[in-house]
């Protein structure tokens, strides 16, 4: 997975130079929306579905509406204005979105590529139907790292839906209640502003479990009484994804299959399986019939193994599916259960006990294998799967657990990859029997493989407990506790490889072989890599597997910043004359940097300090913004320049915090009123720079004069340093000219 991410970033960096110019001066709209209805004619009291269709440009993807909005990416939301002519029924439903786990966000989201569709069911209450509202969404591309938030309005009237004036019996009580409540509300709310009222919705069981820390929304019983002009949010929350975007999805699935294939190769080295390879192959090569027939039977044997394990994966996929994946990925119960299962697997590998299937199963299957023929070959493969279960069970279980939290195809792919590696030697050795003489003899080294797997299972078990701990804020596995346990586990594993630690089933180790020595070196090297994480080192290669750094109590980076003046109002970015930042109570910069989230404040401070302004057009849901912060901003040379040479202004284009009414304005670009921080700065980015994608970095002076050509997503640290240096040089030159 780490290699896949590195390849993606390398590709994005290369493509950046090709597309940079086009990105700098283009307002993009990669998604176009259209509207439809499920039926053109309805009677009052009947239900109809409003259909929102989206056409998405190639290489772009649109975030869906059914995942946790606190995860990071911007959830698609729909807001319906209240009107007595209709009533919302249920929640907005995305139709078959794709799903993906993202290591950067440490969670899963849903999204669409190519096309998207959302459906909202309503009940018609009056002949003069009027359904109006707005929606907000975000589209991104992995080609060059752009993300763009959008918002627009929609309207459904009698032009789309013809409503007959005869009310059905079910609609009459609702109409009467609507008239009565409408009059009462108009009198009570005559002078009130428009307000947004959340719609509560009863989620299904799987969604409820996954949404323990989020809000789900539903239509209120009295929706018929709502007045036109009032807003009703019909955003839905909670779901879990399992596929990757078009540009990366295939890679992640292939990567998972390679991991499963490697697990199959490891399973071959366990003491339950390895001795059976020459025994089974000898049976096919020495049994009656020609050599060709023996090879054919060996091939059928191998295909039978693949079929058996792939069938297991298919059953798991059918049992869990997308809703099961949602529940498994977020709820504490399955995660704690998987933690305990992995713990049991580890104890089994350490030799505490052996996981076996009932002997009656083995007897029945073995009797079928003795019948011979092609059916007998299949049951021989089945016998192998059952007999080797004590060694392969934990490995197979690990693959299925890892895949259950993802897409439904992953269990099938995982089991296919595992069984392919598992079956390959039996077929190859049957075709080339002379290779058998080159196999190492069975011995104590096979048990050593099991024990090493036990240590790995124990380390992986902590990941599941960590997920539950983070979701429910138990505080059991903070980052330093997690790392401490990993350090102990892998240190013990290193000592075991050197023969300093011994279990009951281990043979005496007279000397350390060269392979064991190299494995020990790698293990201790990994331990040394982990140790700085106890003191706050980011350990970027393991970012997706460790708890967030914010859970770490002892962080030398934070202590150093505080000791060096980090507790000052704006640290090295401002002085005592600069005012505290607006919105600083809920908006923050990474790596302890200090700055502003309001452009006017940044301009004022820059003028007082005589520094240029570094503008970061960013968003809460911008994945590539976080990648830039994690991989580029964290570089010491970049941090030094941002702290010392610039006043930072992080302008969030998707923040929904409402501005004071005195700051509302109507945009010259689209003619819409801008009422939030996000809409204000999204409009500013478009009107000032003719760009609407994030991340986007601009260097300017206090008069908004651009110093150098702005840049976008680029993971090359040297390029970013040169960009910052060029901005300082241009600013100093401008100041010198002004003084003359």
| Per-residue model confidence as pLDDT tens digits over 364-417 | 545 554 455 566 667 666 766 665 655 565 566 666 655 554 455 767 777 788
Same domain, 188 and 260: no
**Between residues 117 and 264, the one the model is more confident about:** 117
pLDDT of residue 645: 93
Classify 86 in phi/psi space as left (phi over 0), alpha (psi -120 to 50) or beta: beta
Buried b or exposed e, range 679-712, using 16+ CB within 10 angstroms: bbbbbbbbeebebbbbbbbbbbbbeeeebbebbb
Which of 408, 443, 478 is at the close of a domain?
A: 443
Same domain, 197 and 335: no
pLDDT tier, 720 (very low <50, low <70, confident <90, very high otherwise): very high
Distance CA 655, CA 24 (A): 23
In a domain, residue 478? The reply is no
In a domain, residue 496? The reply is no
* Whole-Å CA distances, 427 to 258, 277, 381, 596, 638: 20, 10, 12, 65, 56
282 has pLDDT over 80: no
Yes or no: say if 405 and 307 are a contact pair by the CB < 8 Å rule: no
| Per-residue model confidence as pLDDT tens digits over 505-540 | 787 788 888 988 999 999 999 999 999 988 888 786
Nearest to 45, CA basis, from 150, 191, 182, 173: 173
pLDDT of residue 345: 76
Q: Can you tell me which residue has the tokens 């130079």?
A: 17
In a domain, residue 208? The reply is yes
Same domain, 282 and 218: no
Same domain, 344 and 307: yes
27 has pLDDT over 60: yes
Q: Which residues pair with 401 in a beta bridge?
A: none
Yes or no: say if 135 and 152 are a contact pair by the CB < 8 Å rule: yes
**Domains identified in the chain, total number:** 3
In a domain, residue 20? The reply is no
Distance CA 714, CA 144 (A): 8
Which of 416, 443, 470 is at the close of a domain?
A: 443
pLDDT of residue 346: 82
Distance CA 385, CA 162 (A): 63
Which of 403, 423, 443 is at the close of a domain?
A: 443
Yes or no: say if 633 and 643 are a contact pair by the CB < 8 Å rule: no
Q: Half-sphere exposure of 35 toward its Cβ, with a 13 Å CA cutoff?
A: 18
Q: Can you tell me which residue has the tokens 């001066």?
A: 25
| Per-residue model confidence as pLDDT tens digits over 113-154 | 989 999 999 999 888 888 999 898 988 887 766 788 888 889
Range among 63-72, 307-316, 349-358, 520-529 with highest mean pLDDT value: 520-529
Distance CA 494, CA 266 (A): 18
- Across the range 711-720, mean pLDDT stands at 90
Same domain, 733 and 608: yes
Same domain, 338 and 206: no
Same domain, 163 and 64: yes
In a domain, residue 448? The reply is no
Yes or no: say if 614 and 649 are a contact pair by the CB < 8 Å rule: yes
Q: Name the DSSP class of 668.
A: T
- 137 Cβ contact partners less than 8 Å away, ≥ 6 residues apart: 31, 62, 63, 74, 76, 77, 149, 150, 151
Same domain, 36 and 175: yes
In a domain, residue 472? The reply is no
The residue count for the chain: 740
690 has pLDDT over 70: yes
Owning domain of residue 357 = 252-443
Same domain, 614 and 661: yes
Yes or no: say if 416 and 257 are a contact pair by the CB < 8 Å rule: yes
Q: Is the dihedral of CA 368, 372, 374, 379 positive or negative?
A: positive
pLDDT of residue 145: 67
Distance CA 272, CA 266 (A): 12
Residue 669 sits in a domain whose CATH number is 3.40.30.10
Same domain, 221 and 264: no
**Picking from 150-154, 471-475, 477-481, which range would have the lowest pLDDT averaged per residue?**
471-475
Same domain, 211 and 341: no
Same domain, 256 and 226: no
In a domain, residue 320? The reply is yes
475 has pLDDT over 70: yes
pLDDT tier, 319 (very low <50, low <70, confident <90, very high otherwise): low
In a domain, residue 471? The reply is no
* Whole-Å CA distances, 108 to 212, 241, 326, 546, 720: 15, 5, 9, 16, 30
Q: Is the peptide bond before 695 cis (omega within 30 degrees of 0)?
A: yes
């Amino acid at each position: 997975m780490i290699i896949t991410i590195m390849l993606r970033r390398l590709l994005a960096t290369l493509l950046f130079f090709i597309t940079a110019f086009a990105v700098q001066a283009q307002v993009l709209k990669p998604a176009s929306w259209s509207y439809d209805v499920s039926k053109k004619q309805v009677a009052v009291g009947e239900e109809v579905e409003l259909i929102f269709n989206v056409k998405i440009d190639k290489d772009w993807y649109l975030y869906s509406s059914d995942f946790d909005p606190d995860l990071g990416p911007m959830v698609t939301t729909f807001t319906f204005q209240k009107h007595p002519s209709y009533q919302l029924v249920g929640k907005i439903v995305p139709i078959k979105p794709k799903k993906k786990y993202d290591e950067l966000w440490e969670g899963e989201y849903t999204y669409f590529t190519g096309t998207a569709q959302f459906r909202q069911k309503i009940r018609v209450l009056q002949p003069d139907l009027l359904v109006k509202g707005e929606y907000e969404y975000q589209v991104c591309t992995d080609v060059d790292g752009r993300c763009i938030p959008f918002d627009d309005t929609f309207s459904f009237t009698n032009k789309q839906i013809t409503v007959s004036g005869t009310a059905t019996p079910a609609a009459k009580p609702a109409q009467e209640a609507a008239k009565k409540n409408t009059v009462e509300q108009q009198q009570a709310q005559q002078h009130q502003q428009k307000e947004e009222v959340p719609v509560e919705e009863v989620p299904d069981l799987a969604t409820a479990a996954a949404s323990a820390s989020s809000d789900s929304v539903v239509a209120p019983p009295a929706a018929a009484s709502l007045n036109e002009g009032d807003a009703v949010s019909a955003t839905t929350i909670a779901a879990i994804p399992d596929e990757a975007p078009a540009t990366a999805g295939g890679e992640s699935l292939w990567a998972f299959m390679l991991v499963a294939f490697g697990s199959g190769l490891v399973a071959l080295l366990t003491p339950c399986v390895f001795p059976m390879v020459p025994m089974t192959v000898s049976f096919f090569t020495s049994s009656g019939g020609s050599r060709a027939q023996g090879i054919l039977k060996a091939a059928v044997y191998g295909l039978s193994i693949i079929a058996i394990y792939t069938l297991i994966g298919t059953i798991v996929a059918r049992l869990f599916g997308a809703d099961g994946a949602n529940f498994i990925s977020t709820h504490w119960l399955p995660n704690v259960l998987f933690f305990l299962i992995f713990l049991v697997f580890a104890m089994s590998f350490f030799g505490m006990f052996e996981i076996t299937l009932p002997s009656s199963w083995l007897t029945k299957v073995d009797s079928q294998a003795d019948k011979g023929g092609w059916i007998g070959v299949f049951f021989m493969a089945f016998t192998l799967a059952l007999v080797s279960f004590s060694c392969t069970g934990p490995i197979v279980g690990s693959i299925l657990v890892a895949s259950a939290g993802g897409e439904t195809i992953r269990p099938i792919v995982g089991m296919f990859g595992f069984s392919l590696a598992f079956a390959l030697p039996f077929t190859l050795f049957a075709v080339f029997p002379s290779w058998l003489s080159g196999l190492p003899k069975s011995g104590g080294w096979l048990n050593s493989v099991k024990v090493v797997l036990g240590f790995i299972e124990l380390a992986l078990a902590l990941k599941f407990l960590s997920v539950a701990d983070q979701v429910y804020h138990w505080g059991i596995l903070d980052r330093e506790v997690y790392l401490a346990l990993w350090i102990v586990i892998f240190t013990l594993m290193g000592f075991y490889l050197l023969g300093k630690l011994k279990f009951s089933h281990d043979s005496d180790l007279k000397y350390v072989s060269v392979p064991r020595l190299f494995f020990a070196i790698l293990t201790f090297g990994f331990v040394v890599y982990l140790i700085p994480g106890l003191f706050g080192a980011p350990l970027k290669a393991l970012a997706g597997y460790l708890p967030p750094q914010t859970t770490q109590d002892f962080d030398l980076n934070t202590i150093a910043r505080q000791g060096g003046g980090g507790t000052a109002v704006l640290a090295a970015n401002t002085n005592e004359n600069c005012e505290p930042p607006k919105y600083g109570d809920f908006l923050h910069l990474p790596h302890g940097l200090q700055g502003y989230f309001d452009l006017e404040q940044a301009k004022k401070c820059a003028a007082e300090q005589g520094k240029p302004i570094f503008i970061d057009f960013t968003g809460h849901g911008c994945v590539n913004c976080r990648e830039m912060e994690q991989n580029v901003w964290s570089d010491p040379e970049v941090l030094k320049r941002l702290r010392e040479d610039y006043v930072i202004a992080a302008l969030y284009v998707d923040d929904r915090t409402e501005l004071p009414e005195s700051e509302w304005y109507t945009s010259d670009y689209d003619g819409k009123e801008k009422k939030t921080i996000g809409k204000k700065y999204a409009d500013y980015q478009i009107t000032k720079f003719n760009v609407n994608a994030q991340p986007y970095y601009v260097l300017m002076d206090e008069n908004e004069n651009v110093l150098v050509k702005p840049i976008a997503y680029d993971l090359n640290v040297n390029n970013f340093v040169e960009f910052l240096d060029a901005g300082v040089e241009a600013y100093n030159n401008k100041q010198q000219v002004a003084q003359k």
